Structure 1
């Protein structure tokens, strides 16, 4: 792929550090890649939080915390975003998961005639349903279609979600997946000592990693109580934790973990379970696969691109707890199938490192920057 000459990228994101989620993770990896390749970036994000990342300054805007999700900062749209972009002078605006603050990013790009690339990353309609906001789908999709229509290109992380956006009438779509750190998530981190502490009786370790909140449907894990030969390990924290602890007294709850601790935990699982049904990609599933762990996931959204049933894991009907339990029990009871799938799990994500994925993104930047330059030349000639 042709290398893009030095470029200035303004990233307007709905979520950033210290919040840890898929949007934050991908923005951080993009910033690190831009810095390593000699490009320049600025970030506009809800606050509070660190003032820079990978050498890029982070401009914080006012935010509020929704009562139904008090740990998530929602940026308030503001004309200040236009001032930030005008001072920085970007070649391209990267709008990460636009919904609220992203409106200001797209408006600023339009005012300044800067080409804008939007990244669709959050199933807002599905999220709203999980928090009791039923009947809002038509309004949410109308708003998302309007927002993304203001971008030169919208990048979508998985084939099922791309098909959904096409059906919803969102224009100018392209696929852009997500990378995984294959050193950090690697079978080499499997720890016999940790396994002995988690399951001293030698049971197969069935692990979950994620926020313990409604959008991840952790209550589905209660369907695994009493699976013969299984020890449930839950990595994460959130408002549903206490309820789960009461209903799953035999499970191990590790709390929120990152870094080397998380790498060791995931690689030490025998089965990786994912309960979410609204994921546009699902980085946690990809990290489990990279760690050489067969995955059991709901047959919806991003996991459909990642899990190949019978090869690197199993899928279950999203709302069928009996299917989830049966899939987990099948893997727990068949050591040879687990071993075979573990090898294929690692193979299935080979070549999906962040460097390769970010280079694909640079190609999208180049396309819309070149397209805008050509449009300007034609306007001047006319």
Structure 2
């Protein structure tokens, strides 16, 4: 199969969109398929043996945003894909879907970024309604729209987006594993950040407004804990100010073995943002055998079974966030039990399994487009 991937985010930018696109490309390469990528400027010229083509971009909150370009349709026409994969389509992805339709190429759009949610959080009023109309317009152009969570499904159904299906995300079950807790590197990190045996409350992700990391201030004054934050982003000055005087270690952006070591050093994982369409770092924490505290909002609702593998706190209620964390801080046996439950819950979500499902959706979109072609080719008198 020939797959054209149009992604709003790609390397060197680190994001959930980038990670999932790279995992899909790795899968296609292993399976012997052909692919190409269209991404914002700054991306490498190739990945997994596939060509990466770039379009002009502007910077927005440290992210390159790809701009519509006349080269998109030419690239798709030259490549002649069997299907277009639009990753978190916005400006560039919308053009990719439109070009695919003009070329009669079926498209699968992956809903990953809650643009309308960002507009709402920033109190943009009418812009929120406009954002949802734009999301609907973009996704209505695709043959199939894949959403990561029940909350996203509800949101898109509410605004009238059609042709919806669920597609979750995979997780590295080998790199993130409870057994890593016995690694010397993990012991060294714990000795450095929690020299007196403090309970480590960790976070992994961008330090950005939608992640609401400043809510960790709710844990001010909790005895015997150490906060460890992994990531970087535009909200770092604000978060540093909000957490000033608290026992915090900033590890910056990590990847690979260093990131796996950080997860393994945590005792509890906390995610405070209420706008996650999925929550990939929650899955990674579960794979590492950690209990998770997250808001009862968006993607975490599907990932955290309240009282079994973690706790869901009332959104925007920092007092409830603190209560949930305190239960785990005070009960090591509960942490272990919930961590084991979290690990069991993700065992079927390897990237290989998840990408097998995605490939099935590609075939579904191709078949649906072929059926439409067949119907339009049959004279009306024979359709009756």
* TM-score, structure 2 as length reference: 0.95
Given the alignment, which residue of 150, 161, 185 partners 2:176?
A: 185
Q: Which runs of 5+ in 1 are unaligned?
A: 1-6
2:48 counterpart (46, 54, 61): 54
Q: Is the 1:131–1:215 contact (alpha carbons within 8 Å) kept by the matching residues of 2?
A: no
Describe the shift of the 1:131–1:19 C-alpha distance in structure 2 as closer, same or farther (beyond 3 A): farther
Q: 2:233 aligns with which of 231, 235, 238?
A: 238
Match of 2:244 in 1: 248
Contact 1:228 1:329 in 2 (8 A): no
Structure 1: how far apart are the matches of 2:4 and 2:21? 11
- Determine if the alignment matches structure 1 residue 370 to structure 2 residue 367: yes
Which deviations, in whole Å up to 9, do the C-alpha atoms of 1:52-80 show, x marking residues without a partner?
111111110001113xx1x1111111221
TM-score of the superposed pair, with normalisation by structure 1: 0.95
Partner Cα separation in structure 1 for residue 153 and residue 38 of structure 2 = 26
Measured against aligned partners, the alpha-carbon deviations of 1:134-184 in whole angstroms (never above 9, x if no partner) come to 442110001111111111110000112111211111111000000001111
Deviation at 1:131, TM superposition (A): 4.6
Question: Is 1:176 aligned to 2:167, yes or no?
Answer: yes
Matched, 1:43 2:40: no
Task: Find the aligned partners of 1:30 and 1:380 in 2 and give their Cα distance.
Answer: 34
Alpha-carbon separation, structure 1, partners of 2:123 and 2:261: 36
- Cα deviation for residue 276 of structure 1 reads 1.1
Q: Distance in 2 between matches of 1:238 and 1:75?
A: 19
Deviation of 1:317 after TM superposition, in Å, equals 1.1
Task: Confirm or deny that 1:264 pairs with 2:261.
Answer: yes
* 1:317 maps onto 2:314 in alignment: yes
1:336 alignment partner in structure 2: 333
Aligned to 1:162: 153
1:40-119 to 2 correspondences below 5 Å:
40-66=34-60, 69=61, 71-119=62-110
Alpha-carbon shift at residue 259 of structure 1 (Å) = 0.9
**Deviation of residue 371 (structure 1)?**
1.9
Deviations 1:239-296 (CA, angstroms, capped at 9, x unpaired) = 2223333433321111111110110111111100001111100101110010000000
2:143·2:368 contact (CA, 8 Å) conserved in 1?
A: no
Map residues 272-351 of structure 1 onto 2, 5 A cutoff: 272-351=269-348
SS of the residue corresponding to residue 136 of structure 1 reads helix
Whether the aligned pair in 2 keeps the contact of 1:131 and 1:214 (CA below 8 Å) is: no
CA distance in structure 2 between the partners assigned to 1:184 and 1:130 by the alignment: 34
Q: Is the 8 A contact 2:283 2:303 kept in 1?
A: yes
Q: Which moved more, 1:349-358 or 1:134-143?
A: 134-143
CA contact (8 A) 1:12 1:96 kept: yes
Aligned Cα root-mean-square deviation (Å):
1.2
Measure the CA separation in 2 of the matches of 1:129 and 1:208: 24
